């Protein structure tokens, strides 16, 4: 049986609120809220504002990561939502972010990662050794 270790959504967010896309604190807050909303466990986050504008950042989650790069001058954001296991729903994070960023249009592509043949469940983290 073919199983997947993770789901990776690549998102294109168009016609977003430009003031939000250039606000590091709000972008980070919304990304962290999206992680929680999707059921993920946050490890840490790092965000940076570029000059003259634009924000890049990543929220590292126990189940992988959520990342973003914004172009406020175009009202555009590239979003990367990668989750492992079956307890986190990256589509919930996508919908949450699209709403918070004011995206008028989105395009997405989902890639199944770690397509492995296995007759046993594939945990997203190593299992402890058994005796």
Give the catalytic positions in this structure.
Answer: 64, 69, 84
Element (H, E) at 32: helix 24-38
Cα–Cα distance measured from residue 121 to residue 111, given in angstroms and rounded to the nearest whole number: 20
Distance CA(11)–CA(80), nearest Å, equals 6
Q: In the block, which residue shows the tokens 């997947």?
A: 4
**Structure tokens belonging to residue 127:** 């299992």
- CA dist 86 and 71 (Å) reads 32
Q: Are 17 and 101 in contact (CB under 8 A)?
A: yes
């Amino acid at each position: 049986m073919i199983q997947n270790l993770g789901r990776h959504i690549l998102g294109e967010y168009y016609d977003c609120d430009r003031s939000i896309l250039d606000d590091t604190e709000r972008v980070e807050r919304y990304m962290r809220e999206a992680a929680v909303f999707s059921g993920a466990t946050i490890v840490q986050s790092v965000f940076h504002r570029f000059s003259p504008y634009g924000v890049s950042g990543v929220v590292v989650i126990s189940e992988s990561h959520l990342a973003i790069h914004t172009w406020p001058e175009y009202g555009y954001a590239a979003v990367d939502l990668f989750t492992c296991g079956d307890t986190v729903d990256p589509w919930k994070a996508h919908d949450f972010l699209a709403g918070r960023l004011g995206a008028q249009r989105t395009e997405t592509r989902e890639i199944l990662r770690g397509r492995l043949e296995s007759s046993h469940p594939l945990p997203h983290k190593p299992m402890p050794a058994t005796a």
